[in-house]
Structure 1
Amino acid sequence: MVFAQNGLPKFLAYAVYVGEVIAPLMLVIGFRTRLASLLLGGTMVVVVITAAMDKIGTLTEVGAWSLEVQALFFFAAVALSFTGGGKYAASTKNTWD
């Protein structure tokens, strides 16, 4: 298990469920978009730290950055945390004011 190899408690693996299943579903329906995007961004940081730290400066065989997908998810989550869900979100109340 990746968490145990990095000296982290095994129960943190349940947070992966929240960050990779629950948070994206919340984003899709637009429920608490800013909270869900922060959870997803945090998950991407943990993914890079625990599983892909050796790939930070490497390229794939076609010349793309090895962490391109993780960076895409992280920066999209950061953008959504600033902009929110928009007009058609399931929860329209702005909780950051």
Structure 2
Amino acid sequence: MENLGKLLLRVSVAGLMLPHGIHKLMNGIGGVKYLLGQAGMPQFLSYGVYIGEIVAPILMILGLYTRVSGLLISFTILVATAAAHAHEIFKFTEYGGLVIELNALYIFAALAVALIGPGKFRLGNQRGFWKE
């Protein structure tokens, strides 16, 4: 059951992140460049969104380099949160939830995947970065 839980977490985090990256691939990353520029961050970082929102989720779904993928997704959302929502980090919605709660959920769920590993339901039997 533990391995099924790891698979469910991996596929849900990565499967929900992937459409964000596909949208940026289809429509360009001009908005990401703009947000990074407004936040005083280098605009070349915007190309990292393809790694953090397309490559890493695909690898995570497949169970390849899962721990690294989790760290990449977490870092991508952390940068996105800092660029687009820095002024809202400690603000609440009218319903009592944090404004950035979805971002926080992505960050911590991807970190959890990085810490617990892929489980046995993965493509191949790769051992790397951290051993299970």
Q: TM-score, normalised by structure 2?
A: 0.68
In structure 1, what is the equivalent of residue 99 of structure 2? 66
Tell me which stretches of 4 or more aligned residues in structure 1 moved more than 4 Å.
none
Q: Partners of 2:84 and 2:103 in 1: how far apart?
A: 11
Q: Partners of 2:105 and 2:89 in 1: how far apart?
A: 14
Structure 2: any 5+ residue segments left out of the alignment?
A: 1-33
Q: CA distance change for structure 1 residues 93 and 45 in 2, over 3 Å: closer, same or farther? A: same
CA-based RMSD: 1.3
- Decide whether the 8 Å contact of 2:64 with 2:126 is kept in 1: no
Q: Which has the higher helix share?
A: 2
2:83 is aligned, of 46, 50, 57, to: 50
Letter matched to residue 42 of structure 1: F
Q: Percent identity?
A: 36
Q: Partners of 1:60 and 1:24 in 2: how far apart?
A: 29
- Decide whether the 8 Å contact of 1:32 with 1:91 is kept in 2: no
Structure 1: any 5+ residue segments left out of the alignment?
A: none
Q: Aligned residues, how many?
A: 97
In structure 1, what is the equivalent of residue 47 of structure 2? 14
Query: Is 1:78 the counterpart of 2:111 in the alignment?
Result: yes
In structure 1, what is the equivalent of residue 67 of structure 2? 34
Q: Partners of 1:32 and 1:91 in 2: how far apart?
A: 11
In structure 2, what is the equivalent of residue 88 of structure 1? 121
